[in-house]
């Protein structure tokens, strides 16, 4: 049974306490009083631990989406639409959607404990950098939802980066990849399109793979395989990604494949 199935069935034995437990409890109308235990450091998780990380990922993702949306003082229609889009992509049922909306609303409250939430999320992930990077990809994509990247949003993302202990180099790589798809220059930079149906410019494709036009073919292939492995849905679920979020991971792998095919097609014509 999935983490959500256990929550819906009232089986809270794997539940976490701390700020995340308080947020989820408020969203679901429950009082979670289990203490914050430490997790093991094995790469793959046991059933109870996996459900716990999945719960932490879900709770942190939607509550921080709410916090970021309010960061510049107002919540735009585009930002609301992005959160709704994520929920649709996850094929949530009515109860899950209700919980996600409640978490977004919790994140918009003046007393939202951002730093405590991030610290606990990092602890629950126990060094699983792939999950943390996927979380960052979702949050940076949300910032671009309204076509703007305000100073306030940048400040929040920097806080997130520091508390999750992500290096500036890794963060910048993720940001460039997201901007290549969602940023203002996504459809304008780089001249001609790559593959006939890719919808990506060569510049955007290079940015998604974290390489450039001077990168040798062999290195482009290595970058492609590395990103594809990192975003493989089955691997992410094994490391604690909620099964409901597999579609997000699948969409990321599709973007990576598109980028690689775009570069190959562009180079074949050059």
Q: What is the pLDDT of residue 48?
A: 54
Burial classification of residue 10, based on how many CB atoms lie within 10 Å of its CB (0-12 exposed, 13-18 middle, 19 or more buried): exposed
**Rounded Cα distance, 258 and 32, in Å:** 43
For 220-237, write each residue's pLDDT tens digit: 999 889 888 777 766 666
Contact in structure between 105 and 168 (CB atoms under 8 Å): no
**Rounded Cα distance, 1 and 85, in Å:** 26
Assign domain 185-270 to a CATH class: mainly alpha
Q: What is the pLDDT of residue 155?
A: 94
Alpha-carbon dihedral of residues 141, 146, 151, 152, nearest 10 degrees? -80
Q: What is the pLDDT of residue 34?
A: 44
Residues in the chain, pLDDT under 50: 1, 12-13, 33-47, 187-197
Q: What is the pLDDT of residue 255?
A: 82
User: Helical H runs in 70-216?
Assistant: 77-89, 94-107, 114-125, 129-143, 151-163, 168-182, 202-209
Select from 243, 191, 90 the least CA-distant residue to 235. Answer: 243
Q: What is the pLDDT of residue 242?
A: 62
Q: What is the pLDDT of residue 266?
A: 87
**Six-digit token string for 46:** 């046991």
For 159-215, write each residue's pLDDT tens digit: 999 999 999 998 998 888 888 776 665 544 444 444 444 567 888 888 888 888 999
pTM: 0.71
**211 CB neighbour count, 10 Å cutoff:** 19
**Rounded Cα distance, 170 and 30, in Å:** 37
**Rounded Cα distance, 176 and 155, in Å:** 17
**Rounded Cα distance, 99 and 87, in Å:** 11
**Domain extents in the chain:** 13-182, 185-270
Q: What is the pLDDT of residue 103?
A: 93
Phi, psi dihedral angles at 143 (to 5 degrees): -60, -35
**Six-digit token string for 134:** 């996927």
């Amino acid at each position: 049974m999935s983490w959500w199935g256990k929550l819906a069935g009232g089986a809270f034995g794997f539940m976490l306490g701390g700020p995340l437990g308080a947020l989820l409890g408020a969203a679901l109308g429950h009082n979670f009083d289990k203490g914050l235990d430490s997790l093991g450091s094995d790469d793959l998780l046991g059933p109870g631990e996996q459900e716990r990380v999945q719960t932490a990922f879900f709770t942190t993702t939607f509550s921080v989406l709410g916090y970021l949306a309010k960061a510049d003082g107002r919540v735009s229609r585009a930002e609301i639409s992005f959160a709704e889009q994520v929920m649709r992509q996850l094929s949530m049922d009515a109860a899950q959607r209700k919980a996600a909306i409640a978490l977004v609303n919790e994140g918009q409250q003046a007393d939202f404990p951002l730093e405590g939430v991030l610290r606990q999320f990092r602890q629950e992930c126990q060094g699983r950098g792939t999950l943390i990077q996927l979380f960052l990809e979702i949050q940076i994509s949300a910032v671009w939802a309204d076509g703007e990247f305000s100073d306030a949003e940048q400040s929040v993302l920097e806080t997130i980066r520091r508390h999750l202990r992500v290096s500036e180099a890794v963060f910048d790589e993720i940001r460039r990849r997201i901007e290549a798809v969602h940023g203002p220059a996504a459809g304008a930079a780089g001249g001609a399109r790559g593959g006939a149906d890719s919808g990506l410019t060569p510049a955007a494709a290079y940015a998604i793979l974290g390489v450039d036009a001077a990168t040798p073919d062999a290195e482009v292939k290595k970058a492609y395989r590395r990103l594809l492995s990192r975003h493989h849905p089955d691997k992410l679920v094994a490391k604690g990604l909620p099964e409901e979020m597999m579609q997000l991971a699948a969409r990321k792998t599709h973007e990576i494949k598109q980028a690689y095919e775009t570069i190959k097609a562009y180079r074949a014509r050059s």
